[in-house]
Amino acid sequence: MKRQVLIILRGSMKKALVRNNIDCELLEEIISANPDGMFAVDCDYRILYWSKTMEQLFGMNRNYVLQKNIFEIVPLFKNTEEENCYIQAFSGQTIISSNKLSISLKADNKFYFKNYYSPLQAKDGKVIGGIVLVRDLSKKLEAEKRIQESEDRFRVMSDCAPVAIWMSRKDGLCDYFNQGWLEFSGRTLEEEFGLGWADRIHDEDYKKVMDTYFNAFNSRNSFIMKYRLQRHDGQFRWLLDQGKLRFTQDGEFLGYIGSCIDITDQIVALNELDDTVKKLEAALKARDDFISIASHELKTPLTPLKTYLYIIKTQIVGLSHSSSETLFNIIERMDSQINHILKIIDNLLDFSHISNQLLELTIEKVDLVHVVCEVVKRYKILNPYLSFKLFFSNKESEGQWDKMRIEQIIDNIVNNAIKYGEGNPIEIHLLEEKTQVKLIIRDKGIGIPKNVQTPIFDKFERAVSSENFPGLGLGLYIVKKNLSLHGGTITVDSGTAKGSTFTVVLPKDINCSPHCTIFES
Ligand code: ADP
């Protein structure tokens, strides 16, 4: 073996090895460490040397191949360009086989390689054969094949995608546009190449697009931009373009890949929606302004009207008993009607204030027992036949609230209990707890179907027909708003046959500045 190894060494190299005490076994180790296989033949093609890597590559061991003809060992080399290479090596030339040869040594083991040929010279420089270095290309070719397959897959996917896709190189110039893009633009890849695609950006968007693109490029950031690009039919379409960075597996920057979707329809729809919202807002403002003005105008004549009624009441004292009683009753009813109109107007005014975010509180010490009694008393004066059952856990229930608003809350709920209570007695419970007061108002009237119990606290929501029960559907909405301003809540428990129970929970101290503004939720 030593002889065979030595024979393929050039004289000077051999001397150097000997000088440095590097023996043939070590040399054999060095050659074996090389992933390239190596063998040597004499001019009769007899194999003189066969490296360990060759044993692995060809699956034939050295003892078997030595002294055998190379074309007997690898018949595929015969009559090919490889045979010529040997001849050239024997004539003293160094040559690389230009083909990637494929050899199927076992059924399932096909490998590709490339050979490097050089002459094998004796001490005197005479060519006595050839040395062949065999480079296994299988893994490289396999990797290239996989890359090619993956690229083909990407192109097929990209061409089938319902979006326009582009890719740029490191220098920012685009070198790929998918089918979707080319169909959109109606141009060729060559026309779009580089910055050709940018020719058709809308003039108004051009600078912004270029700035975004190159700023992102220079800072190596992803980007999203919206711009108008001319379509094949000349129409400018809005595109949403998202660019993402591309890197190799080693982290080397390759450029960008981007996708564009046509968002023109969405933009048009959004603009229309915007217009509609603006119109609606204007209409709502006009309505609120109208309610506000109309409420004030309606209220103005009612105040003197009430005064005149009071004066008439005092003047009829001198009349006969029966006629004064009749007149008195009529006046009482007129007064009650005026009060009713005043309540409606107050509700409308409050609604308008809530809508315009103008509801304010004036906080003071308030006794809820007193307020409940006052409200009940007023209704009893108007209709002595009304029946109330009052239950107070304490003699007084004090808290920091806006008296007028608290009165309005209780009044609205009691008013509903009377209106929808079918004349049955109304229970009012006032339970004082540590930090809050609970007010329960229960009637035995028509009740509220379950599915409309939540909506009745919204504006204009009603669970009854206006023919049977006139009303605006604003009372509970205002109650809820007033309560939330006090940090309180209202809930209802009802069913059609059992009447309704409204529960108000009111914190004793609303923990709010004396003047706070309510905002529409
Ligand atoms: P309005 O009474 O003017 O319609 P509200 O906001 O006070 O407006 O009440 C909203 C709706 O809730 C009423 O239309 C009615 O259907 C229902 N409702 C309120 N209170 C009661 C109650 N005590 N019993 C039955 N239904 C009620």
DSSP calls for 314-334: HHGGGS-HHHHHHHHHHHHHH
Report the residue among 343, 412, 462, 469 best suited for mutation to probe ligand 1: largest number of ligand atoms under 8 A from its CB: 462
Q: At residue 248, does pLDDT exceed 90?
A: no
Instruction: Kindly report the protein residue whose alpha carbon is nearest to atom 23 of ligand 1.
Output: 417
In the chain, the N- to C-terminal Cα span, in Å, equals 95
Burial of 519 (0-12, 13-18, 19+ CB in 10 A): exposed
Q: Which amino acid is at 366?
A: V
Helix, strand, coil percentages for the chain (3-state, nearest 5): 50, 25, 25
Closest C-alpha to 237, from 226, 250, 221: 226
Indicate whether residue 344 lines ligand 1 (CB < 6 A): no
Distance 344 CA to ligand 1 centre (A): 14
Per-residue pLDDT tens digits for 40-80: 999 999 999 999 998 988 888 999 999 999 988 887 777 77
pLDDT at 143: 84
Average pLDDT over residues 395-423: 94
pLDDT at 351: 82
Report the residue among 408, 456, 480 best suited for mutation to probe ligand 1: largest number of ligand atoms under 8 A from its CB: 456
Per-residue pLDDT tens digits for 337-383: 888 888 888 888 888 778 777 778 889 999 999 999 999 999 998 88
Average pLDDT over residues 305-313: 83
Average pLDDT over residues 308-319: 80
pLDDT at 355: 74
Atom index in ligand 1 nearest the CA of residue 464 equals: 16
Indicate whether residue 408 lines ligand 1 (CB < 6 A): no
Average pLDDT over residues 452-466: 90
The answer to whether residues 70 and 82 touch, using CB atoms and an 8 Å cutoff, is no
Please tell me which residue, 269 or 24, carries the higher pLDDT value: 269
Q: At residue 447, does pLDDT exceed 50?
A: yes
**Going along 393-498, which residue ranges are E strands?**
398-401, 426-432, 436-442, 489-495
Burial of 383 (0-12, 13-18, 19+ CB in 10 A): exposed
pLDDT at 427: 97
Indicate whether residue 194 lines ligand 1 (CB < 6 A): no
pLDDT at 18: 57
DSSP for 79-113, please give it: TSHHHHHHHHHHTT--EE--S-EEEEEETTEEEEE
Per-residue pLDDT tens digits for 109-136: 667 778 899 999 988 889 999 999 988 8
Query: What percentage of the chain reaches a pLDDT higher than 70?
Result: 90
pLDDT at 44: 93
pLDDT at 390: 97
Please tell me which residue, 402 or 466, carries the higher pLDDT value: 402
Distance 66 CA to ligand 1 centre (A): 109
Query: What percentage of the chain reaches a pLDDT higher than 90?
Result: 52
Structure-derived torsion over alpha carbons of residues 465, 466, 472, 473, reported in degrees to the nearest 10: -10
The answer to whether residues 390 and 442 touch, using CB atoms and an 8 Å cutoff, is no
Instruction: Kindly report the protein residue whose alpha carbon is nearest to atom 21 of ligand 1.
Output: 416
Indicate whether residue 260 lines ligand 1 (CB < 6 A): no
Looking up tokens 């599915």 gives 451
Q: Which amino acid is at 104?
A: S
Per-residue pLDDT tens digits for 149-193: 888 888 888 888 889 999 999 889 999 999 999 999 999 999 999
Distance 397 CA to ligand 1 centre (A): 27
pLDDT at 100: 62
Q: At residue 312, does pLDDT exceed 80?
A: yes
pLDDT at 415: 94
Distance 502 CA to ligand 1 centre (A): 11
Distance 467 CA to ligand 1 centre (A): 14
- Residue 386 contacts by C-beta under 8 Å, 6 or more apart in sequence? 379, 380, 418, 426
Q: At residue 16, does pLDDT exceed 80?
A: no
How many helices (H) and strands (E) in the chain? 16, 18
Q: At residue 398, does pLDDT exceed 80?
A: yes
| Helix H or strand E segment including 132 | strand 127-136
Average pLDDT over residues 259-287: 91
Task: Work out the pLDDT band at 519, boundaries 50, 70, 90.
Answer: very low
- Residue 174 contacts by C-beta under 8 Å, 6 or more apart in sequence? 166, 167, 168, 192, 193, 194, 195, 196, 197
Which of 71-75, 257-261, 368-372, 435-439 has the lowest average pLDDT?
71-75
Per-residue pLDDT tens digits for 204-236: 999 999 999 999 999 999 999 999 999 999 999
Q: How far apart are CA 61 and CA 74, in angstroms?
A: 13
Q: At residue 514, does pLDDT exceed 60?
A: no
Task: Work out the pLDDT band at 513, boundaries 50, 70, 90.
Answer: very low
Instruction: Kindly report the protein residue whose alpha carbon is nearest to atom 1 of ligand 1.
Output: 473
Q: At residue 518, does pLDDT exceed 60?
A: no
Indicate whether residue 416 lines ligand 1 (CB < 6 A): yes
Q: At residue 300, does pLDDT exceed 80?
A: no
Name the average pLDDT for the chain.
86
Q: What is the pTM of this model?
A: 0.51
pLDDT at 119: 94
Per-residue pLDDT tens digits for 490-502: 999 998 778 999 9
Strand partners, 242: 224, 259
pLDDT at 496: 72
Indicate left, alpha or beta for 27 from its phi (over 0: left) and psi (-120 to 50: alpha). alpha
The answer to whether residues 260 and 226 touch, using CB atoms and an 8 Å cutoff, is no
